[in-house]
Amino acid sequence: MTQTQLSENVGISTRTLSKVENGFDIKLSLFLAISDALGADAAELLQLSGSRSALTEANVQEIEQHLQAIKALLQK
């Protein structure tokens, strides 16, 4: 998927997506929208970001539970 396609799927500009890719802080709702558009699990994306070395498996599971609860709330 190209950057343009992803930004269109998420409903953001390519400039905003570029900022996300370059490490600028993003809102949780945007992070979840990007993970949905990519068809990826949010916790997996956190692991890919290099933060894996700082997170234990229990941390990852806890984050995943929180993200799923927040995602459910946002969809209501």
Segment 14-62, tens digit of pLDDT: 998 888 888 777 888 888 888 888 888 887 777 766 544 556 777 777 7
pLDDT tens digits, 29-38? 888 888 888 8
Predicted TM-score (pTM) of this structure: 0.58
- CA-to-CA dists, residue 1 to 24, 38, 59, angstroms: 21, 8, 30
Please tell me which residue, 69 or 55, carries the higher pLDDT value.
Answer: 69
Report the alpha-carbon distance of residue 19 to residue 26 in Å, rounded.
9
Q: Spell out a b/e string for 30-69, using b for 16 or more CB atoms within 10 Å of the CB, else e.
A: bbbbbbebeeeebbebbeeeeeeeeeeeeebeebeeebee
Domain extents for the chain?
Answer: 3-74
